[in-house]
Chains A and B, each alone.
Chain A
């Protein structure tokens, strides 16, 4: 026997390929869900618009905020805060988070009337939350997402080292050759947008930094969270509620002052702390749609007298660097073309993960007997890789089909999405993959088609039309794949089973 084996594989490249496989596989299904929902989140405001077709009115950020505050004033009691995000060129509603009677609520408010919109829905917000919380309780969802992102980073770097010919891979695709084709596809998807993949993974990890790597904070601040908060946001005004009732003064002059201060940048968010109390504070932030760096400044007013309390513009390089990285991930700054590139990059990463997961099983299919683990994985792949998008489309369908005005309608939409995804996973586990793949992909195609038709397809507006067309394009693409798999199995498939591929 040769010298004792000290590496897990002979050779650096083989070793890295091994690590790449395992790092990608272990939380691969979680990563797939995160990437899919993250990619959809690029168009979060547009998806929300599609899901609220009755709300077509638009208003300036200030007018919409005023309408929202007016409604909140009459419909909340004992709030500690109203957190309002103004509409911009993309979103047309005010996103309001607030508490009333000790209950935490989130609503989309009509920009003209300030009342909750007719069709109660989470809209694109669901994908956003799924992306980093996975619908799990705090902090476990975020920790799991952080762990998955860390594995993704390892998988990306090892994927690069394991590679011999990065540039050539961009142009290599040999279709209908089984394992070879999957590998070519996986490589092309991974390599073509590699800088994007690394950027989005790294910046994504950083968005959850205070949770997944708080040790710099602990080391420098210890338990002193108050000082940390004051250092991090010197512009913020913290005032406790006095308990003494005082009506909120008129917001319009404050918004006008803030707007003058922000110059060309429109108002982005307005936070009203302790409304109706003598200690009320109104803080206005500029829109983050114009700059990569998140939250470049803020201006605070006394909520009772209307006097300016503090004006702050963030200029510290260390904080700006972090905000820029954060902003790069959120892509709120991105002009239309850049946003489409984010969407394309995200789609490629999602498909790279999916093809990697399939490749793992395809590669091991020739082994006889196939291990139980790989057999379960093969079926889990069918269920999760089709189930996650099926859940997303079921969410859209539920949005159109559930009657308006039923109790907890928004929650019902989410339940439909999650149960659909769960059912798909179950179906994937029960059905043999040769039947599971085409039937679930076909179902997904039909679901996309139905969502586009229910849109309804003829509905006006560029946003609606674009989303409907995207759904149609996805449906036809999936249908082509599903039909291809339904074809009678002549040579290629059985050959893959027993004979060794060249």
Chain B
């Protein structure tokens, strides 16, 4: 480990960076997965109960992908904004789709 990296790691900027990404990668990732499950359950073209099982299975793949992306995004704010954007779009679709009859 270089001395420069070590010094940077001790700073508050680095700590804030990690904290924000952890927030995006945990709470954010779960939020996106939950909304993805909710969105697919309402929109998948199949019977209600089958849409629920398929939606749940797909949503599990979204969570780790979001977590990883949160740590690969160019900056911590970008990570948070990306998660918020995805959550917003999903929430909008859920709202537009409305509860199944």
Residues of A bordering B, CB below 8 Å: 1-2, 4-8, 10, 12, 15-16, 18-19, 150, 153-154, 157-158, 161, 202, 205-206, 209, 213, 215-222, 228, 231-232, 316-319, 321-322, 325
Contact = CB atoms under 8 A, between A and B. Distances in A.
Contacts of B35: 215
B64 interface: yes
Chain B interface bracket (under 10, 10 to 19, 20 to 34, 35 or more): 35 or more
A221 B48 CA distance: 8
9 tightest Cβ-Cβ pairs between the two chains A and B: A318-B50, A219-B38, A216-B41, A231-B49, A216-B37, A216-B55, A215-B34, A220-B41, A322-B53
B80 interface: no
B42 A318 contact: no
Contacts of A18: 71
7 contacts: A4-B13, A5-B5, A10-B5, A15-B71, A16-B68, A215-B35, A319-B49
B42 A6 contact: no
B33 interface: yes
Given A5-B13, A220-B52, A220-B55, 13 more contacts: A5-B8, A7-B72, A16-B71, A150-B63, A157-B64, A215-B59, A216-B52, A216-B53, A218-B38, A219-B99, A228-B52, A319-B49, A322-B56
B4 A2 contact: yes
Contacts of A1: 4
A205 B30 CA distance: 13
B50 A316 contact: yes
Contact of A213 (B18, B49, B50, B56): B56
A338 B88 CA distance: 44
Contact of B18 (A8, A161, A322): A8
A53 B42 CA distance: 53
A219 B42 contact: yes
A12 B74 CA distance: 11
Contacts of B75: 6
A374 B52 CA distance: 44
A154 B64 contact: yes
Contacts of A2: 4
